[in-house]
A and B are shown apart, each in its own frame.
Chain A
Amino acid sequence: MFAQVLFSGFALGSIYGLVALGFAVVFKATQVFNFAQGALAVCGAYFAVTAISILGLPFPLAILAMLAASALLGVIIHMTLIQPLSGRSMLAIIMVTIALSIVIRAVIEIIYGPQGRVLSTPLPTGVFIVGDLRMPKLHLTAAATSWVCMAAFGAFFRFTRVGLLMRATADRHEAAMAAGVNVNLMNRLAWAIGSVLAGIGGLFLGQLQIVSTELETIGLLALPAVVIGGLQSIPGAIVGGLLVGMIEQFSSSYISPKSTDIAIYGFLLLILLFRPWGLLGDQETGRV
């Protein structure tokens, strides 16, 4: 029982960590608290449905198409919605992402209908059994892919020139601008990355369940995840995602399936009250 719950918590937590990482990249770059991150995950899942089931593309090509579409979506959102609002109040920016998620949801339901869709991919579907532990291959693939993506983006930010420029931009817009960095381009790139990571998360969530707009609520677990981990911290997002996955699975198995929300948000409230900067974040000094 314990090992089983630990395993599914780890697998789901890895996916949440991936979505949360996308969220944290966007937040670090543009200071936008993106309530549409769940909707972006839903978009990724539906892009995959479109490419695989409707267009009938071969799987690798379909994945490439889905990644490209997700990246494009992120760039478009930044250009049309986020850039015009730069420097405006927090409520305006939060609300525009909420409104965006409402629009995305409605448009998807108009195009694809409100019923869910099954996503059929050639990913392995069997189950490994080790002792009492049942490990579905799909969960393993999801976790492995998530960790590869997280490692790849970690390396990208750490070791590449563009990654360095992005970090510089996120740290201080003005200084980066003075040094000749195209700040808008970097921010667009951040939105593309955020959207792609959400899309990959959505692909796996849709694969583990069924593709529908209900995935949005699962994708939105990225919000408590990043805050628990620390808003300004990239490793924090991953740790937060894992923690949220664990809390969800443990509370649903040991307390009751209905208690997952309150367990996650109760923990979030405790973090907010006692360590608002998150587990791995830097303590912000009071701004006047």
Chain B
Amino acid sequence: MTEAPITAVPRRPMAKAWTASRAILAALGIAALIYLPFLLTERAVFGVPLSNGMLLNLGITQINLMLIFMLGALSLNFLTGCAGLISIGHGAFYAVGAMTGAVVGTQWGLPLPVVLVAAALVGALAGVIAGLPSLRVRGLYFVLSTLAAHHIIIFIFQEYQFEFFDVAGVPYTNPALGPMALDTPIRWYFFLLVLVIAVYWGLSNILKSREGRAMRAMHDHELAATAMGADVRILRLKAFALSSAIAAVAGALYAYYLTNATSESFGISFAIQFIAMIIIGGLGSLPGSLFGAAIWLLLPSLISGLAANVGDAPALVRVLLVDNRAQFVQALFGSLVIVLLIFAPGGLPDLSRKLGRLFARERGQ
């Protein structure tokens, strides 16, 4: 039975041939990604200074945080969108990573690469434990067990933090990759960029592999997948382990990037934003996760940029954009998620496709 192939999911045709235009596009994209951090730190193009508004009020910090959150969004979309396991407690695995970082990095003083490997291992283990209820309970009950797991992990972090550190939280110092210290945002940027690309590439390859296809089949129809010879219990645990390992690595990086973490950093709203990201970007779509994380992390600063320019706008606009910016952003994101769920379950890309078709039809008539 080892050779029972799962053929329920048709394989996509292999990567399209490298035409000249694709190669040029790819080269331009890579050049833009390399140039972006220099643009954002120097805030000038070839010596011509740019205003905040022209840079959309973005800084390198937001870009770096966005990359860190992209890892979380990718891993959650792998788990929820592709394997069909809904987890409300995904933010807690960031906390697992941050906690591993505190023990291995801050307390034992080991270098960052060791911390990241340890975070991945501990995260995978925690993921398997948190995924154990999936052997017994389904659907809604499983969602609740992830919520319970979230509270338990945060409680452990809190106890740990007050045992060895204090209210101010755990400090994370001197991240370095071998001889290269991660002491400038630009260095962080390139490190994170490589990591995000590697994780993206790895996950998309896993989804194309035999197990990945079995996982998608499990998502679509569990019984059918079982009948085709996929052991859904093991698959679930594997998906959970991989996803939470990635989230834990991202959590350790998050803690190191911010140089401090407390148990309050990883509350339930922290976890929920990842679900919002993958809904905005489109469930089950890896590029969508990147897109959703980008919207989630960058839109607030765009709105701040807008707020700087309102000047003598009507009172209501000022109340929303200046006095209550945080709440306004929350309301905006909440409404966006609601609208997408009702009208375009595939996320923003789906919505724009639908709108485009609608306009095309209007024009045709």
Listed in ascending order, the chain A residues whose CB lies under 8 Å from chain B are 33, 81, 84-85, 88, 90-92, 94-96, 98-100, 102-103, 105-107, 109-110, 114, 223-224, 227, 231, 258-259, 261-262, 264-266, 268-269, 272-273, 276, 288
Contacts and interface: CB of A to CB of B under 8 A. Distances in A.
A5 B324 CA distance: 40
A231 B140 CA distance: 10
B133 A107 contact: no
Contacts of A96: 337-338, 341-342
Contacts of A90: 86, 139-140, 143
B342 A84 contact: yes
The list of the 8 closest CB pairs from A to B, nearest first, reads A103-B334, A102-B334, A106-B331, A106-B330, A265-B151, A99-B337, A262-B155, A269-B148
A266 B144 CA distance: 11
A114 B327 CA distance: 9
B307 to A, nearest CB: 14
Given A259-B155, A265-B148, A94 B141 contact: no
Interface of B: 80, 86, 88, 133, 136-137, 139-141, 143-145, 147-149, 151-152, 154-155, 158-159, 223, 269, 272, 275-276, 279, 283, 319-320, 324, 327-328, 330-331, 333-335, 337-338, 341-342, 345
Nearest to B279: A95
A260 B334 CA distance: 29
Nearest to B333: A102
Contact of A266 (B148, B276, B279, B337): B148
A85 B136 contact: no
B342 A223 contact: no
Given A103-B334, A109-B324, A98 B275 contact: yes
A100 B335 CA distance: 8
Contacts of A276: 136-137, 141
A109 B331 CA distance: 10
Contacts of A269: 133, 145, 148-149, 152
A91 B151 contact: no
A236 to B, nearest CB: 14
Nearest to B149: A269
A110 B145 contact: no
A91 B136 contact: no
Contacts of A264: 151
A103 B341 contact: no
Contact of B152 (A81, A84, A91, A265): A265
A110 B155 contact: no
A99 B158 contact: no
Contacts, number: 117
> Which of A88, A102, A258 gathers most chain B CB within 10 Å?
A102
A272 B140 CA distance: 11
A99 B296 CA distance: 14
Contacts of A106: 327-328, 330-331, 334
A110 B319 contact: yes
A265 B149 CA distance: 8
Contacts of B149: 269
Contacts of A84: 342
Nearest to B158: A258
Given A85-B341, A95-B276, A110-B327, 16 more contacts: A33-B140, A81-B338, A88-B345, A91-B86, A95-B279, A95-B337, A96-B337, A96-B341, A99-B337, A102-B331, A102-B337, A103-B334, A227-B141, A265-B148, A272-B144, A273-B136
A83 B349 CA distance: 24
Given A103-B334, A106-B328, A106-B330, A272 B143 contact: no
Nearest to B155: A262
A85 B343 CA distance: 9
A144 B324 CA distance: 39
B161 to A, nearest CB: 11
Contacts of B275: 91, 95, 98
A85 B327 CA distance: 26
A119 B236 CA distance: 49
Contacts of A81: 338, 342
A99 B327 contact: no
B342 A110 contact: no
A109 B327 CA distance: 7
B248 to A, nearest CB: 20
B107 to A, nearest CB: 22
A90 B142 CA distance: 12
B341 A99 contact: yes
A103 B333 CA distance: 8
Given A259-B155, A269-B149, A103 B338 contact: yes
Nearest to B81: A91
28 contacts: A81-B338, A81-B342, A88-B341, A91-B275, A94-B86, A95-B276, A96-B342, A99-B334, A99-B338, A102-B333, A103-B335, A106-B331, A106-B334, A109-B327, A110-B327, A223-B144, A223-B147, A258-B159, A261-B154, A261-B155, A262-B152, A264-B151, A266-B148, A269-B148, A272-B145, A273-B145, A276-B141, A288-B223
B143 A94 contact: yes
Contacts of B279: 95
B334 A100 contact: yes
B97 to A, nearest CB: 20
Nearest to B144: A227
A122 B341 CA distance: 43
> Which of A92, A106, A266 gathers most chain B CB within 10 Å?
A106
A269 B342 CA distance: 32
Contacts of A102: 269, 272, 330-331, 333-334, 337
A268 B144 contact: yes
> Which of A90, A98, A268 gathers most chain B CB within 10 Å?
A98
Contacts of B337: 95-96, 99, 102
Contacts of B152: 262, 265-266, 269
B272 A98 contact: yes
Contacts of B276: 95, 99
B81 to A, nearest CB: 9
